[in-house]
Amino acid sequence: MAKRVVLAYSGGLDTSVLVKWMQEEWGVEVVALAVDVGQVPGADAEYWGAIRARAAAAGAIEARVVDAREEYASRYVANAIKANALYEGKYPLVSSLSRPVIARHLVAAAREFSADAVAHGCTGKGNDQVRFEVAVRTLAPDLEVLAPVRTWGFTRRDSIDYARLHGIPITATEDKPYSVDENIVGRAIECGAIEDPWNAPPEEIYERTRAVADAPSEDREIVIGFERGVPVSLDGVPTPLHLMLPELDKVVGVYGFGRVDMVENRRVGIKSREIYECPGALALILAHADLESITLERDVAREKSHLEFRYAETVYDGLWYSPLREALDAFVDATQRHVTGEVRLRLQPGRCDVVGRRAERGLYDFALATYEADDAFRHEDAAGFVRLWGLSVETWSKRQRTEEPVVSKERRDA
């Protein structure tokens, strides 16, 4: 059995109780590690100070906060944007992306504090346990991974009672039906009334998006600048991604754009009703994909679109630290060399639409595309090209096609 454990600490009810519970039940020393991935927009030193104090009050021998926002944005989120990664075509991987960076810091802290185990507060039904455990086992196979919540059998009520009994300061009340996970990419909301997939999501669950009815009546346009596929500026102002996302969440979210309501397939085989709100991330993927439409050569674009699904699945399934993800990233990076330019987005109630794009090394050739006088397209090449393009199916039709011939019937009631 482990002697010293680094716990992925959120400051919430369960992980606060876990600090004490692991000491009492297992006799281990607990180091609490909170990784700031932007889960509380605008959180300051005071906020994180309170989180550390709570861990200490719960009996942690050390409570540490790591600001991983920049690292998370530049080494995880940026890759996902370049890949236009949307799980099952809809979900921009909010929680799936943050677990590998948190796992990396768990391992780093375990080394620093000479711990022999790490622990997380995930349940046995979710994807997050898979992501934490596979990541830790990949990065540090010698560390034990403890998942007390899978076996401790506590209800929410039990946790609250346990916290009170042991003087752990918590703010949770029992009437908090939702399980929310968030970071700079967005918010993921589960449980409560939305467990019934027929129930419309109640308005109260949203924090980063307004109801469409409350959106500003005036349209707004914003311009996102990209360099090699990475968002680098907002309205011409250079802005690092970890600051751009929260900024965009505000700007885009008030228009009521960025909500996702889906039933998704979890890795563990369960279908789960999930609500996400990710106005900034979805706007960036929309803009990025559009910029690719003028910067990627056709066959590259086609091939990439297949791999984007695989990319999202790989990350969703907890395989961030895997040769497949690395290889997919290498492919994606090779495609992004000229994805540099700007995209204009128009915001209207409930909408975020691309209304313009430009790129210095774009492949859009006005002289080839225009129907006006300065057309440079060689029309005479088209006839032969089209004949040869269809030659194979023409031959098939003459020799093998079995369907009845096409006949025209006059319409007599006309």
Q: Which residues lie near ligand ARG (CB under 6 A)?
A: 95-96, 127-128, 179, 181, 188, 190, 274
Q: How far is CA 407 from CA 94, 403, 410, in A?
A: 55, 12, 10
Residue 179 bears catalytic tag: yes
- Match 């995880």 to its residue by tokens: 76
Dist CA 11 CA 321 (whole Å): 26
Minimum distance from residue 271 beta carbon to ligand ARG (Å): 11
Instruction: Provide the minimum distance between the beta carbon of 87 and ligand ARG in the complex, in angstroms, as a whole number.
Output: 7
- Which of 138/179 has CB closer to ligand ARG? 179
- Strands 341-348, 351-358: parallel, antiparallel or unpaired by DSSP? antiparallel
Nearest to 340 by CA among 296, 279, 306, 307: 296
Three-state DSSP at 148 gives helix
Q: Is 259 a catalytic residue?
A: no
Residue in 54, 64, 99, 259 annotated catalytic: 99
C-alpha–C-alpha distance, residues 170 and 55, integer Å: 10
Q: How far is the CB of 274 from ligand ARG (least distance, A)?
A: 5
Ramachandran region, residue 201 (left: φ > 0; alpha: ψ -120 to 50; beta: rest): beta
Shortest gap between Cβ of 295 and ligand ARG (angstroms)? 30
Amino acid at the residue 266: R
- Cβ proximity to ligand ARG, 39 vs 127, nearer residue: 127
User: Do residues 228 and 339 lie in contact, with contact meaning Cβ atoms separated by under 8 Å?
Assistant: yes
Q: Which is nearer to ligand ARG, 117 or 188 (CB)?
A: 188
Pairing type for strands 4-8 and 117-119 reads parallel
Q: Report the nearest approach of ligand ARG to the CB of residue 259 (Å).
A: 15
Check 10, 14, 159, 357 and give the catalytic one: 14
Enumerate the β-bridge partners of residue 272. 264
> What is the C-alpha separation between 359 and 340, in angstroms, rounded?
6
Report the C-alpha gap between 103 and 101 in whole angstroms.
5
Judge whether 99 counts as a catalytic residue. yes
Query: With respect to ligand ARG, which residue has the nearer C-beta, 181 or 342?
Result: 181
Cβ-contact 256, 209 below 8 angstroms = yes
Q: Indicate if 217 belongs to the active site.
A: no
Catalytic residue among 179, 233, 293, 322: 179
| Tokens matching residue 346 | 């128009």
Shortest spacing between CB 381 and ligand ARG, in angstroms: 50
Nearer to ligand ARG, 314 or 336 (CB): 314
Of these residues, 10, 16, 95, 128, which one is catalytic?
128
Nearer to ligand ARG, 134 or 359 (CB): 134
Give the catalytic positions in this structure: 14, 99, 128, 179
